[in-house]
Structure 1
Amino acid sequence: MKFNWGTGIALAIVGFISFIMYFVITMSTDNTYSHDLVTDKYYQQELKYQNEIDATKNAKALKKNITLNRIPEGLQIIFPPNFIPEKIKGKVFLYRPSNKQLDFEMPISITNTYLLVPEKRLLDGRWNITVSWNYKNTPYLFKKELNF
């Protein structure tokens, strides 16, 4: 068999296609390359996004917004001091971008002006915290990225 430039081009194309197919199959079947969406119901949450914008504007309009303090017992979420703690209702959602099994949600039920997230629930690393709360039928939303 004589090896000419046509045979070389054909072999190069077959080799390239094989190389690409190997990576496509590897990336689609290997669990180490599995990436989840931020949420399973992405499109339904997108429809509620205007409510989040309004709640965020309400929170930014406050004289003093939520503050976060790291203390030995965990993460302390301090609500504005001029609000009556018993009338604050809502939830705190902590999202771990690297592992969705670590995500958790806590209801807000406080008698003081702060809520404590226990340290045993927070592993070292990056967390996204979302505090969604109502006070006198006004929605508020606080979001922040933090490293614990």
Structure 2
Amino acid sequence: MKKISWGTGIVIAIIIFVVLVLVQTIYLMNQKVDLVEEDYYKKGIEYQKDIDVQKKTSELSEQVRFDFNGQYLIISFPENLSDNKISGEVLLYRPSDSGLDIKFPLQTDSLSQVIPVSDLKKGFWRVKLRWQYEGQDYYDESSFLVE
């Protein structure tokens, strides 16, 4: 059996290293990358406005409740509000795949909204609630796991 010289060994090691780097680069370049938000940079600039709205929401005497029972997500508004003055939108946000996000208008019935979630793909979901009451903006969010 012929021994490999140290020079040949170094060349083989360099070639293996270069091939591994190229394979890894090609693999990573073909991975799907979803931004958290479509208008990520624009929303980043407006972030202070969102912080102010969240602060105003946290100062409410009663908070919005999110109840998840496996089949339904129930959003309950404070009882001191009038349901016909509440408007807004609900976003069911899937961090791992923006293609699964669902947005729909807020429709309160007796200060609550029931959202069926049994058809959602299994995994982690976040509900983002942007709502208005008597001209004031509010924002609340919660998360749940569909199994």
TM-score band by shorter chain is 0.7 to 0.9
Partner SS state of residue 95, structure 2: coil
- Structure 2 runs not aligned, ≥5 long: none
Q: 22, 30, 44: which is aligned to 1:46?
A: 44
Return the alpha-carbon distance in structure 1 between the equivalents of residues 70 and 14 of structure 2: 61
How many pairs align? 145
Q: Deviations over 1:39-67 (max 9, x none)?
A: 22210111121111011111111111110
Unaligned runs of 5+ in 1: none
- The residue matched to 2:38 in structure 1 has which SS? coil
Q: What amino acid maps onto 1:70 in structure 2?
A: F
User: What RMSD in Å do the two structures reach over aligned CA positions?
Assistant: 2.2
- Whether the aligned pair in 1 keeps the contact of 2:34 and 2:97 (CA below 8 Å) is no
Aligned to 1:97: 95
Matches within 5 A, 1:1-148: 3-29=4-30, 33-71=31-69, 74-148=72-146
SS at match of 1:63: coil
TM-score computed with the length of structure 2 as normaliser: 0.86
Question: Aligned partners of 2:116 and 2:4: how far apart in 1?
Answer: 71
More helix by share: 1
Task: Tell me the percent identity.
Answer: 31
CA distance in 2, matches of 1:91, 1:136: 15
Letter aligned with residue 40 of structure 1? E
User: Which AA in structure 1 matches 2:120?
Assistant: L
Moved more, 44-53 or 68-77: 68-77
What TM-score does the superposition give when structure 1 sets the normalisation length? 0.85
- Which has the larger displacement, 118-127 or 107-116? 118-127
Q: Secondary structure at the match of 1:39?
A: coil
Structure 1 stretches of at least 4 aligned residues deviating more than 4 Å after TM superposition = none
